[in-house]
Chains A and B, each alone.
Chain A
Amino acid sequence: SQQGEEDPQALSIQEGENATMNCSYKTSINNLQWYRQNSGRGLVHLILIRSNEREKHSGRLRVTLDTSKKSSSLLITASRAADTASYFCATDEFRDDKIIFGKGTRLHILP
């Protein structure tokens, strides 16, 4: 089963620009997380925002969470070629310790 829906499905931007990805989910959550996946590899945890938080920063990453709209956004500022990857939002649901992933946004940074 998949919980989140990322938008857009694919995004191409010039190096140095900012990239914004959005995620919507369906159920009540403990927290929402973003993961990155380079082609053919496993996922790497990037950042987590708790359900009682509205915004979180980590380096060039900024995450927002709106629990009333059940949505989140991930902003990557000053993008670099190395940011080319797929990005997934994932929700940690209240009822158990399953972490459910969305379908992802494929980000391509153009040189």
Chain B
Amino acid sequence: DTGVSQDPRHKITKRGQNVTFRCDPISEHNRLYWYRQTLGQGPEFLTYFQNEAQLEKSRLLSDRFSAERPKGSFSTLEIQRTEQGDSAMYLCAILLRVSGANVLTFGAGSRLTVL
């Protein structure tokens, strides 16, 4: 248990459908991050939150993607009108301070397969 729960673990959907992923940190953390990872690649930064505020969105995040963190605890990532290119692992992470440095703790990820 990493302290970050993601749901669902795996989602298979047809092209054009909407999907939503949820990230639940086990305890309160100010910073929450979303990354996307395709097969054989490293995690790519999508967006991050400071409490409820979304601080930055990557250019990877098209208008079909929206992320929220309404109460500064859990977060959701929604993809509308999914495309096959959206197939990837979506990773959520919280920022911890370890010996004065920023370190990420990741959830197990939500794998999206778009048919």
Contact = CB atoms under 8 A, between A and B. Distances in A.
A85 interface: no
Contacts, number: 76
Contacts of B107: 42
Interface in B74-113: 89, 91, 93, 95, 98-99, 101-109, 111
Interface string B54-88: 01101110000000000000000000000000000
A98 B104 CA distance: 10
A62 interface: no
B56 A43 contact: no
- Chain A interface residue number, banded: 20 to 34
A45 B103 contact: yes
A10 to B, nearest CB: 9
A104 to B, nearest CB: 5
Contacts of A2: 41-42, 44
Interface string B28-71: 00010101000011111100100000011011100000000000
Contact of B103 (A48, A98, A106): A48
18 contacts: A1-B45, A1-B59, A33-B103, A42-B2, A42-B93, A43-B91, A43-B104, A88-B42, A88-B43, A90-B104, A92-B102, A96-B55, A98-B48, A99-B33, A101-B42, A101-B44, A102-B42, A103-B41
